[in-house]
Amino acid sequence: MNKGISVGLLGLGTVGTGVIQIIQAHQQELQHQVGCPVSIGKVLVKNLQKERDIDIDASLLTDQPDDVVLNPDIDVIIEVMGGVEEAKGHIVKALHNKKHVVTANKDLMALYGAELITVASKNECDLFYEASVAGGIPIIRSLVEGLSSDRITKMMGIVNGTTNYILTKMSKYGSSYADVLKEAQQLGYAESDPTADVEGLDAARKMAILATLGFSMSVALEDVSVRGISSVSDDDLKYASQMGYTMKLIGLAQRDEGRVEISVQPTLLPNEHPLSSVNDEYNAVYVYGEAVGETMFYGPGAGSLPTATAVVSDLVTVMKHMRLGVTGRSALPPLYDKQLKTDEEMESKYFLRLHVEDRAGSFSAITSLFADHLVSFEKLLQLPIKGENDMAEIVMITHKTNKKTYEEISQKLRDLDVVKEVKSSYRVEGGQSK
């Protein structure tokens, strides 16, 4: 294959610009990898007259999708336009026209990944999506290739840079949630509508993708239990720190005896845990395998060049497959049927903060309720509430219990006369093993 490979781009935003920059600047390295030149054939944009931050021949730009996806001279389509339904339509049309596809679209892959992989396989085309999870971290390729001989039992990590930036600033500098969110928006880490990030939806999509690959079962977005960080308070972070913990928005996918749980939620980690030191917009994912044990993948989770690097790495893989004549053979159907854990099978420790009446018997009533359910405490604090002479605050971290039992306890706490309010409750990972 010496004629060269032509690439069509759907989208020329932050990531698309980074892709072109890398292809232009790394031409020698790319030719060395694949044995032929790599060029940009056509680029779909919304506005042909828009001024751009990259030097690109205007004749390569088009506002007509079919100029890219149906172009007979283009071999590989790179989708970086975002959105779901329109992007899906373009990708399906491209695959039916025997064009290989690379996408950075996590929303699309979380919702339609299995369907698109099937279409790609039927048309003997490659479909790769490394950049859809954790930006420049090669986590998908590591699961599919590097750890393919192992049985993955757990994946846990920080997969959203926006929320990690917000929690870092709140924890380290005492900044308010509203102030840090505004700062994140000004820096470009958060969108003008930050709902997908701060309510955990972005991370949930990524965990659905990772669970599908890591566990070789078809995990849907609705299988992920999701809770965001918008209700996290300064007091929650203060007490977590006092007890030796750091709060992060953690994506968790865990498999035990063939049954899985997948969640995204604010989680307390011991300060000495490696994920506790992952700050600002950085991402990190822990992968646990039966053979390899623990591995950790760390790096920038977003940004033009980190994400574009993952896209171009997928492009290189596609081009190598083209050269070897093995395209369309990398996608495998799930090996296992999906079996979700019940609430009785999900075990964790919990952080709980209560406002209670400061009178004799209050503390005993609360601890007796936990004892009745055979749940003990790792740490326990009782403090007066400033300005409230008749009120106290109880902060506790339990030992492990199952989700069903904990929810029963939580409801009974709300029914106790001495408990005025359950202020907050979070999952706890790590620490004492009891």
Q: CB-based contacts of 399: which residues, under 8 Å, 6+ apart?
A: 349, 375, 376, 377, 378, 432, 434
Tens digit of each residue's pLDDT (9 = 90 or more) over 210-231? 999 899 898 999 999 999 999 9
In-domain check, residue 73: yes
CATH classification at residue 54: 3.40.50.720
pLDDT on residue 333: 73
Ranges of residues in the chain whose predicted pLDDT is under 50: 1
Q: Tell whether 93 and 162 lie within a shared domain.
A: no
Does 422 share its domain with 296?
Answer: no
Q: Quick check: is 172 catalytic?
A: no
What pLDDT is attached to residue 1?
Answer: 47
Domain-located, residue 333 = no
> Does one domain contain both 148 and 293?
yes
Looking at the fold, whether 263 and 316 belong to one and the same domain comes out as no
- Say which CATH number the domain at 266 has: 3.30.360.10
Tokens encoding 209: 């993708």
pLDDT in tens, 354-375: 999 988 888 999 999 999 999 9
* CB of 242 closer than 8 Å to CB of 324: no
Question: Same domain for 145 and 122?
Answer: no
Residues 110, 125 within the same domain: yes
pTM of the model: 0.88
Residues 143, 25 share a domain: no
Terminal C-alpha separation, the chain: 60
The DSSP symbol for 341 reads P
Total structural domains within the chain: 3
Residue 122: its H or E element = helix 106-122
**One domain, residues 34 and 129:** yes
Give the CATH number for residue 401: 3.30.70.260
Pair (369, 287) in one structural domain: no
pLDDT at 100: 96
Q: Are residues 182 and 284 in the same domain?
A: yes
Q: Which domain holds residue 379?
A: 343-428
Q: Which of 206, 341, 349, 403 is catalytic?
A: 206
In terms of domains, do 284 and 422 share one? no
